[in-house]
Amino acid sequence: MAGVVGTSIMFPMDMVKTRLQNQKTGQKLYTGGIDCFQKIIKNEGGVRALYRGLSANLVGVTPEKALKLAVNDYLRQTLQGDKPEIPLLYEVIAGAGAGFCQVIATNPMEIVKIRLQVAGESKIKRNLVEVVRELGLRGLYYGAPATLLRDVPFSMIYFSLYGRIKRHFTDTNGNIPIAKVFLSSTIAGVIGATAATPMDVIKTRLQVKPKPGDPVYTGIVDCFQKILANEGKGAFFKGVIPRCLIISPLFGIALVVYEFQKKFFFS
Please name the residue ranges forming H helices in the chain.
Answer: 2-22, 33-43, 54-80, 88-119, 128-139, 144-169, 178-207, 220-231, 240-266
Provide the pLDDT confidence category of residue 257 given band limits of 50, 70 and 90. confident
What is the pLDDT at residue 63? 86
Q: What CATH topology corresponds to 2-261?
A: Mitochondrial carrier fold (1.50.40)
Provide the pLDDT confidence category of residue 267 given band limits of 50, 70 and 90. low
What is the pLDDT at residue 260? 80
Q: What is the pLDDT of residues 75-130, one digit of tens each?
A: 999 999 988 889 999 999 999 999 999 999 999 999 999 999 988 777 777 888 99
Q: What is the pLDDT of residues 29-39, one digit of tens each?
A: 898 899 999 99
Q: Cα–chain-centroid distance for residue 181?
A: 19
64 or 133, which is more confident?
133
What is the pLDDT at residue 253? 82
Q: Is 221 exposed, middle or buried (0-12, 13-18, 19+ CB in 10 A)?
A: exposed
Q: What is the pLDDT of residues 157-211, one digit of tens each?
A: 999 999 999 999 999 888 888 889 889 999 999 999 999 999 999 999 999 988 8
Contacts of residue 15, defined as CB under 8 A and 6 or more positions apart, other chains included, come to 40, 49, 50, 51, 52, 53, 117
Cα separation, 74 vs 98, whole angstroms: 9
Q: What is the pLDDT of residues 131-153, one digit of tens each?
A: 999 999 999 999 999 999 999 99
Q: In the predicted model, is pLDDT for residue 265 greater than 70?
A: yes
Cα separation, 29 vs 142, whole angstroms: 26
User: Against a cut of 0.75, is the pTM above it?
Assistant: yes
- Residues 206-217: b if buried by 16+ CB within 10 A, e if exposed: bbbeeeeeeeeb
Cα separation, 167 vs 56, whole angstroms: 35
Which sequence spans correspond to the domains of the chain? 2-261
Across the range 244-266, mean pLDDT stands at: 81
Cα separation, 218 vs 53, whole angstroms: 25
Cα separation, 77 vs 61, whole angstroms: 24
Cα separation, 33 vs 18, whole angstroms: 10
What is the pLDDT at residue 184? 92
Q: Is 85 exposed, middle or buried (0-12, 13-18, 19+ CB in 10 A)?
A: exposed
